[in-house]
Homo-oligomer: A and B are copies of this chain.
Amino acid sequence: MPTLTLYELSGRADRRFSPFCWRTRLALAHKGLRSQNMPVKYTDKSSIAFSGQERVPVLVDDGVVVSDSWAIACHLEDKYSERPTLFGGSHGRSFTRFIDLWATRSVFPNLVRLVLTDALKHLDPGDAAYIRQSRSAQLGVELDSLEGQRHLNIGSFRESLTPFRSHLRHRAYLGGNEPAYADYSVFGLFQWARMVSPYRLIEADDPVYTWRSNMLGLFDGLAANVPSYDI
């Protein structure tokens, strides 16, 4: 087995909720690989200075440094090509990248508005202050106003899931009958939410709810067996 080290975001009480790091965690499990997981704080990135950039996840695979969740997925698919595929071929890799971008650019911004204020409670005070300032500027809103706007923002979030919901009426996963990296890419967002917020994002009769339940059961409950809210 290769020696793999994953540097991932760590919140208060070492809660590891980064949606992008969860993409990598599940990709590693899909490939049957184990990693040593090292904590990184928002305001102390010294432990990943060697990667030449400041964002997690960072994967070190037998001395090879790869940062960015998409680049890591491509690395794992290429290096461990004899293991279960994450993408399903070259077309699948390109389509998966689209779905990955859809999750990050069309779904995530709506989700952030719903659970970011809860997420702050799961950060160490210094990290929380940093995030409060930087995200408030990014979003152009006072973060404290977001909680009161949930009843407005939940509609946009659920609507952004429309094509995904339609897809799940006929297939269990984005990958078809089995999960693929596209599923991990979307699931990372939901895993972040359930690890930081008790807010109910989806109703039990939503196909997305069933899909999320199935995702939680994968790899002996890898994503289920962490501190989270029962939503």
A90 to B119 CA separation, bound complex (whole angstroms): 38
| A residues apposed to B, CB below 8 Å | 85, 87-99, 101-102, 104-106, 160, 162-164, 166-167, 170-171, 173-176, 180, 182
A90 to B95 CA separation, bound complex (whole angstroms): 12
Q: List 25 A-B contacts (CB under 8 A).
A: A88-B90, A88-B91, A89-B91, A90-B176, A91-B92, A91-B176, A91-B180, A92-B92, A92-B95, A93-B176, A94-B171, A94-B173, A94-B176, A95-B98, A95-B174, A98-B163, A98-B167, A99-B99, A101-B162, A101-B167, A104-B163, A105-B162, A105-B163, A105-B166, A106-B106
Q: Please give me the 4 A-B residue pairs with the lowest Cβ-Cβ distance, nearest first.
A: A88-B91, A95-B95, A94-B176, A101-B163
Which of chain B's residues have a CB closer than 8 A to the CB of A164?
Answer: 98
A96 to B98 CA separation, bound complex (whole angstroms): 10
A86 to chain B: closest CB distance in Å? Answer: 9
Please give me the residue from chain B that is nearest to A166 by CB atom. B101
Known contacts A92-B92, A93-B176; 4 additional CB pairs below 8 A are A88-B90, A89-B92, A90-B176, A102-B163
A102 to B102 CA separation, bound complex (whole angstroms): 9
A23 to B175 CA separation, bound complex (whole angstroms): 22
Which of chain B's residues have a CB closer than 8 A to the CB of A167?
Answer: 94, 97-98, 101
Most B CB atoms within 10 A — which of A98, A102, A104, A170?
Answer: A98
Which of chain B's residues have a CB closer than 8 A to the CB of A93?
Answer: 176
A96 to B88 CA separation, bound complex (whole angstroms): 12
Please give me the residue from chain B that is nearest to A91 by CB atom. B88
A43 to chain B: closest CB distance in Å? Answer: 28
Which of chain B's residues have a CB closer than 8 A to the CB of A102?
Answer: 102, 163
Which of chain B's residues have a CB closer than 8 A to the CB of A95?
Answer: 88, 92, 95-96, 98-99, 174-175, 182
A119 to B229 CA separation, bound complex (whole angstroms): 49
Please give me the residue from chain B that is nearest to A173 by CB atom. B94
